[in-house]
Structure 1
Amino acid sequence: MEYSIRKASLEELDDAAALFDSYRVFYRQAPDLEKGKAFLKERLLNNESDIFLAYADGKAVGFVQLYKLFHYTKLQKQWLLSDLFVHPDYRGKGLSVALIDRSKQWSRETGACGLMLETEKTNDIGNNLYPRCGFEYDGQHNYYHWWG
């Protein structure tokens, strides 16, 4: 299958928003294309995230979204691989791996020390994919959330 991956700008906002909405539905959120589109637009306008889109058959079929963090022991920039999604019709064709590889390349291009991510314990696909892509499971830390 022929595909290409490119960094998203506001010109690709509609493509990114459609995939982002499907991604959120995958994580049991109500669909809200316009709210998601506004969210992504704000991230892009404020340079708060970088999004890469995978195109195949003339349409956007997958994306990854990265947020800049800073690692306290390495004293370097690090990227949070926050969102990764491939349309169900295009799964199993290597696009997730290609998007992860592009994220690794972006990490090197920007002088970052690496990538980190988290996923649900029930995400069997992701929990098998990430170790195959060179990610190491961190059983040393607990992750907590505070929703104010």
Structure 2
Amino acid sequence: MEQTNYQIKKASLEELDQAAELFNLYRIFYRQPSDLEKGKAFLKERLLNGESDIFLAIVDGKAVGFVQLYKLFHYTKLEKQWLLSDLFVHPDYRGHGLSVALIDRSKQWCKETGACGLMLETEKTNDIGNKLYPRCGFEYDALHNYYHWWK
């Protein structure tokens, strides 16, 4: 695997356009219709309200991957934790360790913010993610069922 020179950068409104393009591709990956403007507005609101933290993988000055984290609180540890909600690397840049670098930066963010850890969920059909997360130290939780309620 060829090593790619990259940097991981915490996103601000300056990077909103690049983050929104990746977020739109991420949503398409999960079979959602393309809506760049609505996604951009969604990310802008998260950033302006301090509701999420986004880290970008930058290669040659261009954002090619991102991770988005939301603050949660863990009921047994009685501490803050982060939900690793979204992780995406552009298909042209996969296989160069960028997903692992974004996860590592998320783990570092836990340390920097005094959080107890990360949690995530992904579809059973996400073969890439279901191989990646255990490799990065995540443990599969077979004890819980996750349910959704949508209005």
Short-chain TM bin: over 0.9
Work out whether 1:17 is the aligned partner of 2:50. no
Instruction: Give the letter aligned to residue 99 of structure 1.
Output: L
TM-score (norm 2): 0.97
1:83 is aligned to 86
Shift of 1:100: 0.1
1:136 is aligned to 139
Shift of 1:35: 0.1
SS of match in other structure, 2:31:
coil
Which residues of 2 match residues 84-99 of structure 1 at below 5 A? 84-99=87-102
Instruction: Give the letter aligned to residue 125 of structure 1.
Output: I
Measured against aligned partners, the alpha-carbon deviations of 1:80-135 in whole angstroms (never above 9, x if no partner) come to 00000000000000000000000000011000000000000000000000000000
Match of 1:36 among 36, 39, 53: 39
Instruction: Give the letter aligned to residue 92 of structure 2.
Output: D
1:127 is aligned to 130
Work out whether 1:47 is the aligned partner of 2:56. no
Shift of 1:58: 2.2
1:71 is aligned to 74
Work out whether 1:100 is the aligned partner of 2:103. yes
CA separation in 2, counterparts of 1:79 and 1:54? 19
SS of match in other structure, 1:122:
coil
TM-score (norm 1): 0.99
Which residues of 2 match residues 101-116 of structure 1 at below 5 A? 101-116=104-119
Shift of 1:138: 0.1
Identity level (%): 85
Gaps of 5+ in 2: none
CA separation in 1, counterparts of 2:125 and 2:5? 31
Gaps of 5+ in 1: none
CA separation in 1, counterparts of 2:133 and 2:63? 22
CA separation in 2, counterparts of 1:51 and 1:87? 16
Tell me the number of residue pairs that the alignment of Structure 1 and Structure 2 aligns: 148
Following TM superposition, the consecutive aligned residue runs of length 4 or more in structure 1 with deviations greater than 3 angstroms are: none
